[in-house]
Amino acid sequence: MNILVTGGAGYVGSVCAEILITHGHAVFVFDNLSVGYRRAVPQSAVFFEGDLADRQALDRLFAAHQIEAVMHFAAFALVEESVRKPSAYYVNNVANSIQLLDAMVRHRVKKLIFSSSAAIYGEPKIAPIPEEHQAAPINPYGHTKLTFERILEDCGAATGLQYACLRYFNAAGATRERGEDHRPETHLIPILLQVALGQRPNFPINGTDYPTHDGTCIRDFVHVFDIAEAHVLALDQLERISGHVFNIGSNRGHSVREALETARRVTGHPIPVVEASRRPGDPAILVASSQKTERVLGWRPQFSSLSTIVESAWAWKQKFPFGYGEDRQAAP
Ligand SMILES: NC(=O)c1ccc[n+]([C@@H]2O[C@H](COP(=O)([O-])OP(=O)(O)OC[C@H]3O[C@@H](n4cnc5c(N)ncnc54)[C@H](O)[C@@H]3O)[C@@H](O)[C@H]2O)c1
């Protein structure tokens, strides 16, 4: 199938592009490189540098290639930044996503998989969280994701679009060639590994007084390869599952201290910590129930144990200590 991957120069999108290619699909990546990297895009994908806000660029792409499905990863995805710049988040994650939808309608492309987020649950009342849990985001980023889920509901009904929303929990891990390189990096595992490589002096634990077994937050880490496989499964079965939302998590929670201990064991580095106060808006426990995803999609996460995730991220980080940085040499 000819698949358009928006945001395919970013972390999850580039890995999905890689996995789609291994499944025999032809991949077209559309990315404005605002935070992604040209080098992250697989060589056999066709790359278009462009912004979702640019209607003509989208029209050119759809007119030139018989795109049959879209996987929509492009977005701004930093919670803290979304609190400071909400309108930029609504413009990019909602208005620009509508541009994409409208272009799909103009060019009669009927299949879409959307990257949603656990952020739509806000402060969940239970763990693990099933999809029918109340959606109550507590930051603009979560609001933008939920808003677009609702827009898809309406547009699906009006246009016959087949779509699925995949709500990822904490994406983590790497393939051999692709890993996580966000700037600024706000995600826990890459920060731990930056300390192990001597790129940061210590690891801040934000909050040690949560009502959890060791006082630190509990999160559900899911390997980016398993996320990519969920996309492949969702696309294969889209006609049957259209309109559904799916949690993409491992069904298991790990505390920040457990992630720290795993990183210490995998890297052999002591990884010094500083204990800091809680960050506003960090729920104590965020763990997915992935029962529906397993039952309905037949998804079986293979690489989402914490050890496998950290080992794969560490292997990538050692191979590319400066990530995709153009300015610095990657290690041989
Ligand atoms: N990483 C996670 O843990 C996580 C968790 C839940 C949901 N998500 C969602 O998954 C998606 C991918 O996340 P990620 O971590 O890979 O993000 P990322 O920032 O690494 O990638 C996003 C990509 O989109 C591109 N982009 C942004 N706005 C664009 C625009 N207007 N036009 C064209 N390209 C644009 C960026 O240049 C970047 O390459 C996002 O939608 C995010 O909200 C991620």
- pLDDT at residue 330, as a whole number: 39
281 phi and psi angles, rounded to 5 deg: 85, 5
Backbone phi, psi, residue 87, to 5°: -65, -35
Pairwise CA distance, residues 29 & 9, whole Å? 7
State if residue 74 touches ligand 1 by the CB under 6 angstroms criterion. Answer: yes
What confidence score (pLDDT) does residue 218 get?
Answer: 97
Model pLDDT, residue 212: 96
Of 11, 89, 141, 210, which is the active-site residue? 141
Q: What is the pLDDT of residue 298?
A: 98
Q: How many residues does the chain have?
A: 332
* Cis amide linkage into residue 280, ω under 30° from 0: no
CA distances (Å), 321 to each of 143, 259, 270, in order?
34, 20, 18
2-172+221-248 folds as: Rossmann fold (3.40.50)
Per-residue confidence (pLDDT) for residue 279, from 0 to 100? 85
Taking the domains of the chain in order of start, what are their residue ranges? 2-172+221-248, 188-219+251-319
User: Do the domains 188-219+251-319 and 2-172+221-248 match in fold?
Assistant: no
Q: Which residues contact 120 (CB under 8 A, 6 or more apart)?
A: 135, 137, 142, 145, 146, 149, 167
Ligand 1 contacts CB of residue 92 (under 6 A): yes
**Nearest atom, ligand 1, residue 181 CA:** 20
The tokens of 8 are what? 């395919």
Q: Is 40 in the pocket of ligand 1 (CB under 6 A)?
A: no
121 lines ligand 1 (CB under 6 A): no
- Architecture label for domain 188-219+251-319: Alpha-Beta Complex (3.90)
CA 209 – ligand 1 centroid, Å: 31
Q: How far is the CA of 215 from the centre of ligand 1 (A)?
A: 30
pTM (global) more than 0.85? yes
Read off the tokens for 138: 């507590």
Q: Is the CB of 10 under 6 A from ligand 1?
A: yes
Distant-in-sequence, close-in-space partners of 50: CB < 8 Å, separation ≥ 6: 30, 31, 32, 57, 58, 61
Task: Give residue 329's pLDDT.
Answer: 40
The token pair at 81 is 């930044």
Q: Hey, is 296 helix, strand or coil?
A: helix
Separation between Cα atoms, residue 97 and residue 57, nearest integer Å: 14
Task: Per-residue pLDDT tens, the chain, 332 aa: give them.
Answer: 999 999 999 999 999 999 999 999 999 999 999 999 999 999 999 999 999 999 999 999 999 999 999 999 999 999 999 999 999 999 999 999 999 999 999 999 999 999 999 999 999 989 999 999 999 999 999 999 999 999 999 999 999 999 999 999 999 999 999 999 999 999 999 999 999 999 999 999 999 999 999 999 999 999 999 999 999 999 999 999 999 999 999 999 999 999 999 999 999 999 999 999 998 778 899 999 999 999 999 999 999 999 999 999 999 999 999 999 854 443 33
Q: Residues 35, 93: contact at Cβ < 8 Å? A: no
Substitution candidate for ligand 1 out of 31, 55, 191, 224 with most atoms within 8 A of CB: 31
Active site residue 141: yes
Q: Which residue has the tokens 């826990």?
A: 188
Residue 95 pLDDT? 98
- Three-state DSSP at 31 gives strand
Alpha-carbon distance of 127 to 129, in angstroms, equals: 5
Q: Are 191 and 140 spatial neighbours (Cβ–Cβ below 8 Å)?
A: no
The answer, yes or no, to whether the previous bond of 128 is cis (omega within 30 of 0) is yes
Pairing label, strands 170-172, 221-223: parallel
